[in-house]
């Protein structure tokens, strides 16, 4: 559809021109992150509360009977990333993740003046996306928490809190270094893979399939590293919904992040991804990007062959035209 066929919603003094700059990019980051969380937290709400509560599992609190059930979460989050990037990509580049924004500022000449506005937009978008999930699934979450046994905070369980934010697995026994390493490594791979997908010097994805391949990368990380600490790999993805859970009654489970086997956890899925994202893009450039740059510098850019001139009909300035004139002259003699 051409631009002329799409009507402008707001005209004149509506501030439309101002949305062509940073303000518009922040709006795109807000909406893209909202879509990311609405589908990502939404699939967790389905798995944890809605499917059991609607009679689609063995009991009202039964979920994850087998390891294969984890695939519902990983593929749901993968598709959430895909469509969040498709929504915002044409305006802001669809970072949707403070780790991406910081890494691109460090190694991809992304303007430092945009870093904090992008990050703020992402966190607010994540908060609103989580609020949308809570509004849609409030009844299911309430039924799940009501039927669940065990420790509760203001009537809410740790399982229902997992719809919104992350926490470490019990086998870490409260040690924060294991989950921190997990977040650093997971986000390092995320940024390394993003850098590879968008690098036109490498085997870059053609057409507009980049968001889909990045979604596959998120699925791969979730399948390989998800159980350790919930694979937040995105500070906004964890912080925005965590704040929503905090103001909605989950209390200390959300902020500062206290549970039966962990305490003060909320900083881990913020700091870890920021470190890991920067490492990921640096590692890619060190091992791949700089090598590609050196090769291009050595051989030079490919010079395209000049297009072949189209054939012209015989005329006074062509060889065929000269031959024709000579024949006419001979006949005249």
Helix (H, G, I), strand (E, B) or coil at 1: coil
- Asked whether residue 330 is assigned to any structural domain, the reply reads no
Across the range 150-163, mean pLDDT stands at: 96
User: What is each CA distance from 126 to 108, 123, 225, in whole angstroms?
Assistant: 24, 5, 22
Both tokens of 240, joined, read 């925005």
- CA dist 81 and 92 (Å) reads 15
- Give exposure, 33-63, as e/b (b: 16+ Cβ within 10 Å): bbbbbbbbbbbbbbbbbbbbbeeebeebbeb
Domain tally for the chain? 1
Provide the pLDDT for residue 329: 43
| 296-311 residue pLDDT tens | 998 876 555 566 555 5
Mean pLDDT within 128-141: 98
Count of C-beta atoms within a 10 Å radius of residue 207: 5
Angle between helices 210-229 and 70-92 (to 10 degrees): 140
What CA–CA distance (Å, rounded) separates 124 from 36? 12
pLDDT value at position 206? 82
Q: Are 39 and 134 in contact (CB under 8 A)?
A: no
pLDDT in tens, 271-297: 999 999 999 999 999 999 999 999 999
Domain of 45, CATH number, reads: 1.20.1080.10
Residue 333 CB neighbour total at 10 angstroms: 4
Q: Which of 215, 199, 207, 204 is nearest to 84 (CA)?
A: 215
Neighbouring C-alpha atoms within 13 Å toward the C-beta of 137: 29
Residue 1 lies in a domain: no
Residue 199 maps to a domain: yes
Does 53 map to a domain? yes
Class of residue 112 by CB neighbours under 10 A (exposed 0-12, middle 13-18, buried 19+):
exposed
Three-class SS of 123-140: HHHHHHHHHHHHHHHHHH
List CB contacts of 214: < 8 A, sequence separation 6 or more: 81, 82, 85, 193, 194, 197
State how far the Cα of 112 lies from the Cα of 302, in Å rounded to an integer: 33
Interacting residues of 172 by C-beta distance below 8 A, sequence separation 6+ = 178, 179, 228, 261, 262
Tell me how crowded residue 329 is: count the other CB atoms within 10 A of its CB: 9
Q: What percent of the chain has pLDDT over 70?
A: 85
Structure tokens at 321: 């035209």
Structural domain containing residue 233: 17-296
Which pair of structure tokens corresponds to residue 310?
A: 């189209």
Which residues, in sequence order, are CB contacts of 89 under 8 Å at separation 6+? 32, 210, 211
Q: Span 160-181, mean pLDDT?
A: 97
SS3 state at 153: strand
Count CA within 13 A, CB hemisphere, residue 30.
11
Q: Are 92 and 28 in contact (CB under 8 A)?
A: yes
The predicted-structure confidence for 38-86, as pLDDT tens digits, reads as follows: 999 999 999 999 999 999 888 888 887 777 789 999 999 999 999 999 9
Report the alpha-carbon distance of residue 285 to residue 279 in Å, rounded: 10
Look at residue 165 and tell me if it is in a domain: yes
As given in the structure block, the two tokens for residue 22 are 């940073």
Cα–Cα distance between 33 and 225 in angstroms, integer?
22
**Mean pLDDT, residues 140-148:** 96
Residue 326 reports pLDDT greater than 60: no
Say what the pLDDT of residue 10 is: 65
On the question of pLDDT at 320 being above 60, the answer is no
Per-residue confidence (pLDDT) for residue 11, from 0 to 100: 60
What are 153's strand-pairing partners? 156
SS3 260: coil
Confidence (pLDDT) at 307:
61
Specify the pLDDT at position 79: 98
- With pLDDT > 90 as the criterion, what percentage of the chain qualifies? 76
Whether residue 256 has a cis bond before it, omega within 30° of 0: yes
Say if 320 falls within a structural domain: no
State the chain's mean pLDDT as an integer: 89
Given a cut of 60, is residue 21 above it in pLDDT?
yes
| Mean pLDDT value of segment 172-177 | 96
**Position 310 in a domain:** no
250 falls within a domain:
yes
Q: Report the pLDDT value the prediction gives residue 333, as an integer from 0 to 100.
A: 47
Give the pTM.
0.87
């Amino acid at each position: 559809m051409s631009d002329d066929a799409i009507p402008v919603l707001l005209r004149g003094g509506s501030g439309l021109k101002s949305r062509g700059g940073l303000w518009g990019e922040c709006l795109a980051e807000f909406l893209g992150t909202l879509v990311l969380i609405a589908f990502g937290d939404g699939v967790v709400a389905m798995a944890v509360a809605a499917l059991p509560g609607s009679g689609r599992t063995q009991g009202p609190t039964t979920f994850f009977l087998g390891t294969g059930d984890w695939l519902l979460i990983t593929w749901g989050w993968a598709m959430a990333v895909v469509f969040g990037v498709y929504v915002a990509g044409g305006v802001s580049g669809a970072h949707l993740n403070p780790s991406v924004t910081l890494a691109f500022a460090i190694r991809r000449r992304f303007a430092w003046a945009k870093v904090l506005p992008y990050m703020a937009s992402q966190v607010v978008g994540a908060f609103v996306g989580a609020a949308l999930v809570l509004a849609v699934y409030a009844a299911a979450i309430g039924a799940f928490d009501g039927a669940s046994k065990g420790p509760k905070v203001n009537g809410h369980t740790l399982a229902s809190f997992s719809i919104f934010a992350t926490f470490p697995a019990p086998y870490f026994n409260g040690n924060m270094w294991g989950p921190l390493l997990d977040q650093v490594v997971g986000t390092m791979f995320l940024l390394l893979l993003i850098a590879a997908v968008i690098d036109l010097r490498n085997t870059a994805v053609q057409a507009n399939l980049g968001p889909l391949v990045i979604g596959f990368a998120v699925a791969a990380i979730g399948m390989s590293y998800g159980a350790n600490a919930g694979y937040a790999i995105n500070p906004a993805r964890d912080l925005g919904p965590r704040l929503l859970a905090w103001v909605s009654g989950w209390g200390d489970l959300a902020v500062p992040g206290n549970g039966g086997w962990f305490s003060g956890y909320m900083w881990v899925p913020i700091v870890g991804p920021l470190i890991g994202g920067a490492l990921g893009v640096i590692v890619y450039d060190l091992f791949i990007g700089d090598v590609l740059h050196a090769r291009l510098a050595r051989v030079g850019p490919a010079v395209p062959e000049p297009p072949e001139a189209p054939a012209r009909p015989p005329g006074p300035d062509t060889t065929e035209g000269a031959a024709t004139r000579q024949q006419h002259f001979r006949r005249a003699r």
